[in-house]
Amino acid sequence: MPTSKEPVKEDSTWRQRSEIESMAELSPQLEKELERLDKELWISSEKLKEIVRRFQEELDEGLAKDDQNIPMNVTWVHSLPTGKEKGTFLTIDLGGTNLRVCKVTLHGETTKDNNKRYEIDQEQYKFPNSIKSTHADELWTHVAEKLEDFIENKGLAKEYNDKKKMPLGFCFSYPAMQDRIDHAVLQRWTKGFDIDGVEGHDVADQLRAKIEERKLPLDLICVINDTVGAMVASAYNDPATIIGGIFGTGCNAAYMSSISSIKKLSPDDERLKDKNGNTRPRMAINCEYGAFDNARKVLPLTKYDVQIDEESPRPGQQMFEKLSAGLYLGEIFRLILVELTDRGLIFVDQEKNGNGKLREGYSIDTGFLSQIENDETKDFADTRAMFKDVLGLDVADEELDVFQRVAKLIAVRGARLCACGVAAICLEEGITKGHVAADGSVANKHPHFKKRWAKALDQILGFDSVGEDQDPIVITSADDGSGVGCAIIAAMEMEDRLQWQAV
């Protein structure tokens, strides 16, 4: 079964437009369904440009006022790192699937261990399914327990105590308003979380209360978003970094905005002053643009997108994320397969016998789609085994061909949409070159994401398409934003506090 060829330019025929070519002889009914899906899921370059224009409008609205569709949250991170930051820090990352605790040692300009500029010792704890719909007290108790376990297991209690506390950085990857860097009020849960008693509250205070309750030797220095962390961590090693992007369970970006562009902040705000009383020139903005186009003005929604939104914990919110982020790509794929099954086009005998888990929501994740596209085993044995192991279904040759093509359609659409937010930021700030440090499973594990993303960015910004590695704006793999980036920001904040104390 030959692999598909991705053309350089758009063409008038539907298959070439969507980068799909026929890989096998299919029944006329299935061929017709694939043509329909291709037309529904394909996003042309002109449509991408239309999306980006609306994106720019919503970015401006978020910079002008609070409580806008894209919140454009200020972070109180006023600069990128110098690369000289040093120290040992504890960081925690409350993500969509796991809680990660890290001990990070920054060496600054001093290098050791094969020229690594930092060392990291970490543990990852998977969230129980019940956590996502529990109460605030249970969430923060769980987090504090894991912090305590880490401190004990790593022997940190011997180094730190009530008089000498270990600096703690908190990566909280959800939309939050910040009046200062060690404070963050959750605006809304995303990524499938719906925990009562947290929205509208300061997550830093809630965590501090549990830390104090357990008498843990920790001092919470900063609360950051993973996008800001990715940008800062990457800039620590790569000064060409311009944007931090997350293309994983959710989607988001952060960048350094000029203070003059942030109209919702007064230039006389004392929080913007340095120790000499001068207004700082820049501020890191956490866009939280997964909420782009919640009003459904420009995004090309399919019936599958509408169904996902209606059945989500927060209907009408995070619309852009629901079309492009890793949490949802596998579910789009599953809904399409359910529809084809209901129409008697695939899994006919197996469905009659009630076999499989195809009708279980979110039983397919983005890794499932990546494996389908990346399978190089003979007769696609890995893909067949995956369908059997995950869904309990046997795959016929004709069905395999359909699944490969559908997986590709969904992944291409997701990658092309992900380029829109970055393009809008570049146009807003007049950025013409640099590196977009991308973190997340979709960006770094899907075999073709970066190529497709780069191609879409070329079409939007008018590059000469010399190749994703030679374009003026290049996507790179982000360094550890939630661990290392969080530690670097804590180091920067502590240094800033020392300078103020010296005034």
Q: Is the pLDDT of residue 128 over 50?
A: yes
Residues 51 and 110 in one domain: no
Of residues 18, 173, 312, 482, which has the active-site annotation?
173
Q: Is the pLDDT of residue 112 over 60?
A: no
Rounded to the nearest 10°, the torsion over CA 260, 265, 271, 275 is 20
Burial 25-42 (b: 16+ CB within 10 A, else e): ebeeebeebbeebbebbb
Confidence (pLDDT) at 238: 92
Which one-letter DSSP state was computed for residue 2? P
Residues 92 and 49 in one domain: no
Per the model's pLDDT, the better-predicted residue between 38 and 469 turns out to be 38
Residues 469 and 487 in one domain: no
What are the tokens at 342?
A: 């209901």
Which CATH number characterizes residue 458's domain? 3.40.367.20
| Residue 475 three-state SS | strand
Residues 61 and 100 in one domain: no
Phi (first) and psi of residue 438, to 5 degrees: -105, 130
Chain segment 186-210, per-residue pLDDT in tens: 998 887 788 999 999 999 999 999 9
Residue 503 lies in a domain: no
Q: Is the pLDDT of residue 423 over 90?
A: yes
| Residue 94 three-state SS | strand
| Residue 378 three-state SS | helix
Rounded alpha-carbon distances, angstroms, from residue 437 to 257, 367, 419, 431: 16, 21, 13, 14
Enclosing domain of residue 215: 81-236+481-497
Cα–Cα distance measured from residue 216 to residue 436, given in angstroms and rounded to the nearest whole number: 37
Cα–Cα distance measured from residue 396 to residue 398, given in angstroms and rounded to the nearest whole number: 6
Chain segment 248-283, per-residue pLDDT in tens: 888 999 999 999 999 999 888 888 988 888 889 999
Confidence (pLDDT) at 502: 63
Confidence (pLDDT) at 114: 53
Number of domains within the chain:
2
Helix, strand, coil percentages in the chain from 3-state DSSP, rounded to 5? 45, 15, 40
Chain segment 41-67, per-residue pLDDT in tens: 999 999 999 999 999 999 999 999 998
Which CATH number characterizes residue 226's domain? 3.30.420.40
C-beta separation of 175 from 110 below 8 A: no
Residue among 442, 446, 470, 465 at smallest CA distance from 455:
465
Per the model's pLDDT, the better-predicted residue between 353 and 292 turns out to be 292
Cα–Cα distance measured from residue 59 to residue 56, given in angstroms and rounded to the nearest whole number: 5
Q: What is the pTM of this model?
A: 0.87
What are the tokens at 284?
A: 């890191």
Residues 357 and 334 in one domain: yes
C-beta separation of 400 from 383 below 8 A: yes
Cα–Cα distance measured from residue 331 to residue 465, given in angstroms and rounded to the nearest whole number: 32
Fill in the amino acid letter for 101.
Answer: V
Cα–Cα distance measured from residue 458 to residue 332, given in angstroms and rounded to the nearest whole number: 26
Chain segment 425-471, per-residue pLDDT in tens: 999 999 999 999 998 888 888 889 999 999 999 999 998 655 556 78
Residue 66 lies in a domain: yes
Residue 472 lies in a domain: yes
Residue 4 lies in a domain: no
Residues 99 and 232 in one domain: yes
Residues 175 and 128 in one domain: yes
Which one-letter DSSP state was computed for residue 343? T
Residue among 328, 330, 324, 301 at smallest CA distance from 312:
328
305 is a catalytic site residue: no
Radius of gyration of the chain (CA): 24
Confidence (pLDDT) at 500: 74
Catalogue the long-range contacts made by 358-365 (C-beta closer than 8 Å, 24 or more residues apart): 358/334, 358/391, 358/393, 361/311, 361/331, 361/334, 362/330, 362/331, 362/334, 363/334, 363/390, 363/391, 364/330, 364/331, 364/333, 364/334, 364/390, 364/391, 365/326, 365/330
Residue 423 lies in a domain: yes
Residue 455 lies in a domain: yes
Residues 295 and 206 in one domain: no
Per the prediction, the chain carries an average pLDDT of 89
Residues 313 and 350 in one domain: yes
Residues 53 and 131 in one domain: no
Residues 376 and 470 in one domain: yes
117 is a catalytic site residue: no
Which residue has tokens 């103020």?
500
First to last CA, the chain: 71
Confidence (pLDDT) at 25: 77
Residue 38: half-sphere exposure toward Cβ, Cα within 13 Å: 20
Of residues 17, 100, 188, 384, which has the active-site annotation?
188
Q: CA angle at residue 375 from 374 to 379, to 5 degrees?
A: 155
413 is a catalytic site residue: no
Chain segment 304-346, per-residue pLDDT in tens: 999 999 999 889 999 999 999 999 999 999 999 999 999 999 9
Residue 469 lies in a domain: yes
Q: Which residues contact 132 (CB under 8 A, 6 or more apart)?
A: 192, 193, 194, 195
Cα–Cα distance measured from residue 372 to residue 328, given in angstroms and rounded to the nearest whole number: 16
For residue 56, the surrounding DSSP H or E stretch is helix 45-64
Of residues 38, 202, 226, 305, which has the active-site annotation?
226
Residues 305 and 218 in one domain: no
Burial 170-208 (b: 16+ CB within 10 A, else e): bbbbbbbbbeebbbbbbbbbbbbbebeebbeebbbebbb
Cα–Cα distance measured from residue 417 to residue 300, given in angstroms and rounded to the nearest whole number: 10
Residue 251 lies in a domain: no
Confidence (pLDDT) at 346: 93
